[in-house]
Amino acid sequence: MKRAFLFPGQGAQVVGMGKDIYEKYDEAKKVYDKACEISEMDVKKLCFEGPEEELNKTENTQIAILVTSLAILEVLKAKGITCEIACGLSLGEYAALICAGIISFEDGIKLIKKRGYYMGNLIPDEEYSMAAVIGLDSSKIEEICNELKTSGKFAVPANYNCSSQTVISGVKEAIEEAVEKLKNAGARRVIPLKTSGPFHTEKLIKAKEAYEKELENITFNLNENNVKVIKNIDGTYYKENDNIKEILAKHIISSVRFDKAIKLMQEEDVDEYVEIGPGKTLTGFVKKDNKEAKTYNINSLESLEKYLEEEEV
């Protein structure tokens, strides 16, 4: 049986995430405690108590989601549950890289702390927004965004989530105009998202440049024995000769191609998709493009124990 682990990105956070698993499993407790020590942040308080306003700040959200995903992952590993393929959405890719042993736990925590800070703070001082476009071909979305860009209005596709959903990102005024145009072009729904930064666009160039300096000090372990990790920037596997520092820096300003990751996993005949961490967004995307897919979400003690029971662990 071929299993894929999926790790969520920003927007999946919820106050209280991971608390019940932390209280029951020592493996999870160790992850949270170690992450607090490495990051010099009270990650446990952020995850378990919030407040929501603090948890939703990009510099806090990214590390909180990563640590919650890794805490659940450690419990699964202790039970002998592993995967052949790992991927994540945006920051979720770091959980996948840690899962595969390409980045160490310590380096992953340090990187995401910096990444979250830069992405939350090193952006031009404008009002931004993001919106999910449902039921419209991505080529039509690109066309409308390009028309706006030609007239000096900044709105671009940022996340290609699945064949029927693309997220656009940009300056608030341009996004509002894009929303109307997209509805007129036949979009089934356009939903504003609870993120405020122009993530995965060229507006984050300063964040990318600052982050490049952090990546210079990191050692990566890319070899054929690793779990296969799918890259967000193009939906292909990491390879031994990849310039991983360049890829992770570019990731900040490049569109996320989760649609291509789904296609690759389908071609690889993945039997079981397990989303590890808060929310259930990624398995939802998988189901939209692959209705027969067997999916699981592990985001609470109840869902974890139900999954372990089903796997007869």
Catalytic residues: 90, 200
Chain Cα centroid distance, residue 61 = 11
Distance from C-alpha of 78 to C-alpha of 80, rounded to nearest angstrom? 5
Measured CA to CA, the distance from residue 9 to residue 282 in angstroms comes to 9
Task: Put the strands of the sheet holding 165-171 in their side by side order.
Answer: 189-192, 128-134, 165-171, 155-162, 256-257
| Structural contact between residues 282 and 6, judged by C-beta atoms closer than 8 angstroms | yes
Q: Using CA atoms, how far apart are residues 104 and 259, in angstroms rounded to an integer? A: 27
Q: How many residues does the chain have?
A: 313
272-276: strand order across its sheet: 228-229, 85-88, 3-7, 272-276, 294-298
User: Phi/psi at 229 (nearest 5 deg)?
Assistant: -110, 135
What is the rounded (10 degree) CA torsion for 164, 151, 149, 187?
A: -10
CA distance 228 to 268: 11
Cα dihedral 280, 281, 282, 284 sign: positive
Q: Tell whether omega for the bond before 51 is within 30 degrees of 0, i.e. cis.
A: yes
- Kindly state the DSSP code that residue 292 receives in the 8-state scheme: T
Single-letter amino acid, residue 101: G
Instruction: Give bridge partners of residue 168 from the DSSP assignment.
Output: 131, 157
